[in-house]
Structure 1
Amino acid sequence: MLNIHEKIRVGAVFDGGFPKPVWFGLHGEKVLIKEVCYKWKEREGTDVIYKFTVTDGFNIFEIMFSSMEVCWYLVAMDEAS
């Protein structure tokens, strides 16, 4: 797994509870999320961080949403061989 921690643009649905990421931008390309494999939340001080392990069907990504910063990050990725 390659650690990245880079800000990204995400298309997500906010319908109470956890946000649901649908796509995100990576190097000028739109990555469609085929499946959310895992989701969990953590606290860092007063910030609630929503974390997701997602796949586009080929690669696995870890993304997160900071509710205090109102910002998404690509945390890590594992490219298929």
Structure 2
Amino acid sequence: MRKLTVAEDVLVPGNSEPVIEVYVEREEADDGGMPDFIIEATDMFQERYGLVLAATLVNTNSAPTCKVRLMNPFF
């Protein structure tokens, strides 16, 4: 499990699907191990923000930030 941090503040307008950059928390053990992670939203995230996060496979060794897709299904 890793913590994500949004690279910059983002406003997600209703009925839109922006692709945003996030920073994935890393540990020293990640350098020698498998750097691939699946990013998924927790139930708490969905309840708090009302957004849907598409499950995304990322490689934390390829770049300091990764791109994920959010969706705001409300108008």
TM-score by length of 1: 0.36
Greater percentage in strand: 1
User: Which of structures 1 and 2 has the larger relative contact order (alpha carbons within 8 angstroms, sep 6+)?
Assistant: 2
Question: Whose Rg is larger?
Answer: 2
Greater percentage in helix: 2
